[in-house]
Amino acid sequence: MKLTSLSDPQDLSYIYDFLQQMNEPPAAARSPAKKQRRRDDSFTDTDEDDDDGSKKKRDLKGIITSLSLLEDQEKEDLREREVAAVEERQLLENNYRKKSRATADFYSNVEDYYAETDELDRTRRKKSRALAGAVAAGIAEEGVLKKSEKGGKKSGGEGGQSRRLWVKDRSNSWWDECNRPDYPEHEFRKAFRMGRKTFDVICEELNSAIAKEDTALRNAIPVRQRVAVCIWRLATGEPLRLVSKKFGLGISTCHKLVLEVCAAIKSVLMPKFLQWPEDLRKIKEEFESVSAIPNVVGSMYTTHVPIIAPKISVAAYFNKRHTERNQKTSYSITLQGVVDPRGVFTDVCIGWPGSMPDDQVLEKSALYQRAQGGLLKGVWIVGGSGYPLLDWVLVPYTQPNLTWTQHAFNEKIGEVQNVAKDAFARLKGRWSCLQKRTEVKLQDLPIVLGACCVLHNICEMRGEEMDPELRIEIMDDEMVPEAALRSVSLMKARDAIAHNILHKGLAGTSFL
């Protein structure tokens, strides 16, 4: 076989390239190796990342486990505290129950002890009274025997000695001196706010109601002394301790006498000396001469009497206006009265709480009920600005910027109103117990105040002059009621009265 010559250089280069390609590994053989190296490198990085992730997971799992343990521990502590609190509460409740039972047993024993003591004292007093009665009876019998034997010898001294066994010896020299016929009249009047004749009239009127009979153990207190104790107490307002010293009686006896005599005055003397008049003609004429207002039958006013703070319904008796003015907490009850031209009470309403305004006290009174029944039809009772304008109650104008007619009318109304104010001033000045807080219980106060009003009427009717030193000025704040004007026809009637006063020349000139 014959080889062809290769004289062309291109052919040589072709052979060189071919041989060189033959010596190099094929691309298909190289590619797996490179891929293997890349895969190995990626596996190495992935292993490193997996190691970091697993470490973080382990750390996170440890934190979560710690938090769970802490939460479990906190719950356990909370349960332990709750259990301890429940046990402590049960222990306290058991101790409280034990102490309560012990306290109840103690007080029960104390009550039993005092009950036994009271029973023993009661039995001892009964035996003492029985013994004293037996001794007194024996002495009286012995005195009777001696009297029969000796021809009329008295045994009063021995009887007096028997009373000293159970009656405390007190001095009543002051009253004995006042009760003498030659005791100065002005001194008697100063002590009892009335003359001896008026005092005697009261004693005579009350004799059948308050007289007591003597007993085998002691003599009864005379009627004059009983009346004197009550009137001196009302006139001076002195405490019962001083009343006891003045009259030589026990404190409890003086308190009992005051209430008994006041109750007798209310039941016996009030129907005679404090009643609504039957004949109103003279009263109308006297009021018309004072005010030029026709058909006026009374002047009405409401005052307050101070009291000690009651145990119940304290807010009802709290007097806000007096408290603000006096800068001292004040409690009071009301005293509403209607007077005639002489200042004599013809109607009273006593005892409503001091927080009530005048218009509410009026609506609660028996006078209001009688007026609603037609008792006061066609007549007027003059009141202050604290009362509403009714078909039988005439009150002043209260709005600002009054006309001359209204101003003149208010002046005339004020003159009538002054009659009631002066009467109340004399009432409180004569009976000083109305100016201060008294020791009388709240439920007994209406009886005492009613007795003061009756005694005031007796003094006024009998012309008993009052000592100028006893005169006082009363101050009771009047509040205009919310519904002061309740009818247009009433307003027109009042305007007509005011017009007549001014244009008939009855108003005077002071309003100018």
pLDDT tens digits for range 83-115: 988 888 888 878 877 776 776 666 566 566 666
- Rounded to whole angstroms, how far apart are CA atoms 66 and 59? 11
Task: Tell me the mean pLDDT in the region 14-21.
Answer: 51
Residue 387 near residue 395 (C-beta atoms within 8 A):
yes
Read off the amino acid at residue 118. Answer: D
User: Residue 108's pLDDT is what?
Assistant: 62
Q: Is the pLDDT assigned to residue 363 strictly greater than 80?
A: yes
Task: Tell me the mean pLDDT in the region 60-84.
Answer: 87
pLDDT classification of 152: cutoffs 50, 70, 90? very low
Exposed/middle/buried for residue 148 (C-beta within 10 Å: 0-12, 13-18, 19+): exposed
Residue whose pair of structure tokens reads 């009346």 in the numeric block: 227
Locate all alpha helices (DSSP H) within 211-300, ordered by sequence. Answer: 223-236, 240-247, 251-264, 270-273, 281-291
Read off the amino acid at residue 511. Answer: F
Residues 6+ away with beta carbon under 8 Å from 429: 466, 470, 471, 472
Q: Which two tokens mark 106?
A: 């103690």
- Rounded to whole angstroms, how far apart are CA atoms 199 and 463? 13
pLDDT classification of 13: cutoffs 50, 70, 90? low
Give the model confidence (pLDDT) of 244-262 as tens digits.
999 999 999 999 999 999 9
Q: Is the pLDDT assigned to residue 353 strictly greater than 70?
A: yes
Highest mean pLDDT among 80-89, 316-325, 457-466: 457-466
Give the model confidence (pLDDT) of 174-215 as tens digits.
999 999 999 999 999 999 999 999 999 999 999 999 999 888
User: Residue 143's pLDDT is what?
Assistant: 56
User: For 1-10, 323-332, 396-405, which range has the lowest pLDDT when averaged over its residues?
Assistant: 1-10
Read off the amino acid at residue 134. Answer: A
Coil/strand/helix, residue 69: helix
Q: Is the pLDDT assigned to residue 474 strictly greater than 90?
A: no
User: Residue 327's pLDDT is what?
Assistant: 83
Q: Is the pLDDT assigned to residue 150 strictly greater than 70?
A: no
User: For 133-137, 402-406, 462-466, which range has the lowest pLDDT when averaged over its residues?
Assistant: 133-137
User: Residue 336's pLDDT is what?
Assistant: 96
User: Which run of H or E residues covers position 373?
Assistant: none
C-alpha distance across the termini of the chain, in Å: 174
Q: Between residues 141 and 259, which one has the greater pLDDT?
A: 259
- Rounded to whole angstroms, how far apart are CA atoms 221 and 31? 148
Distances (CA, A) of 208 to 136, 195, 204, 279, 508: 29, 22, 8, 30, 53
Enumerate the domain spans of the chain.
129-167, 173-272, 277-503
Q: Which two tokens mark 274?
A: 């404090």
Return the percentage of the chain with pLDDT > 90, whole number. Answer: 46
Read off the amino acid at residue 315. Answer: A
Highest mean pLDDT among 10-19, 298-307, 479-488: 298-307
Tell me whether strands 380-382 and 393-394 are parallel, antiparallel or unpaired. parallel
Query: pTM for the complete prediction?
Result: 0.67
Q: Which two tokens mark 84?
A: 């301890």
Q: Is the pLDDT assigned to residue 8 strictly greater than 60?
A: no
Instruction: Give 3-state DSSP helix, strand, coil % of the chain, rounded to 5.
Output: 65, 5, 30
User: Residue 236's pLDDT is what?
Assistant: 94
Give the model confidence (pLDDT) of 332-349 as tens digits.
999 999 999 999 999 999
CA nearest neighbour of 222 among 206, 241, 246, 236 = 206
Q: Is the pLDDT assigned to residue 144 strictly greater than 90?
A: no
Coil/strand/helix, residue 335: strand
Q: Which two tokens mark 347?
A: 């109607």
Find residue 349's DSSP bridge partners. Answer: 336
User: Residue 113's pLDDT is what?
Assistant: 67
CA dihedral 387, 391, 393, 394 (to 10 degrees): 100
Q: Give ∠ CA 220-225-227 in degrees, rounded to 5.
A: 115
Q: Is the pLDDT assigned to residue 6 strictly greater than 80?
A: no
Task: Tell me the mean pLDDT in the region 163-169.
Answer: 53
How many beta carbons lie within 10 A of that of residue 480, not counting itself?
A: 16
CA nearest neighbour of 294 among 377, 378, 411, 371 = 378
User: Residue 468's pLDDT is what?
Assistant: 87
Residue 369 near residue 355 (C-beta atoms within 8 A):
no
Coil/strand/helix, residue 24: coil
Residues 6+ away with beta carbon under 8 Å from 313: 353
User: Residue 7's pLDDT is what?
Assistant: 45
Mean pLDDT of the chain: 82
- Rounded to whole angstroms, how far apart are CA atoms 143 and 159? 9
Longest dimension (CA), the chain: 216
User: Residue 510's pLDDT is what?
Assistant: 47
User: Residue 415's pLDDT is what?
Assistant: 93
Residue 235 near residue 193 (C-beta atoms within 8 A):
yes
